[in-house]
Amino acid sequence: MSAVVRTVASEAPPHRGFRRFWVALKQLFHEFIGAIFGVLALFWLQNAFRAWSRDAAHWLIGASVFLAALMAVFSWTSFRAARRVQSP
């Protein structure tokens, strides 16, 4: 005989009042910062393309691509942090 064991996950009570506002504010902050980093990534990518099309030094193109990738990673991690704010 196999016994089925069911566990009931205890769920946290819903946020109310100021706690609910604070969670929403933290999530909005992370999303806003993620959007800013995304715009900065596009800015650096545009600079890399401009340097490449004007036949600039290779290190300048590489630095712009590196900074664009770095800003994209920061944006991605900030949006992930915004998703994790929901859990207590």
Domain membership flag for residue 70 = yes
Q: What is the pLDDT of residue 39?
A: 97
| Domain interval for residue 60 | 31-84
Q: How many distinct structural domains can be found in the chain?
A: 1
pLDDT digits (tens, 9 = 90+) for 7-23: 555 666 666 788 888 88
Domain membership flag for residue 69 = yes
Domain membership flag for residue 37 = yes
Take residue 24 and report the two structure tokens written for it.
């929403």
Burial class (CB in 10 A: 0-12, 13-18, 19+), 83: exposed
pLDDT by 10s per residue, the chain, length 88: 556 666 555 666 666 788 888 888 999 999 999 999 999 999 999 999 999 999 889 999 999 999 999 999 999 999 999 888 875 5
Domain membership flag for residue 9 = no
Domain membership flag for residue 13 = no
Domain membership flag for residue 8 = no
Q: What is the pLDDT of residue 16?
A: 78
Domain membership flag for residue 62 = yes
Tokens 């109310």 label which residue? 16
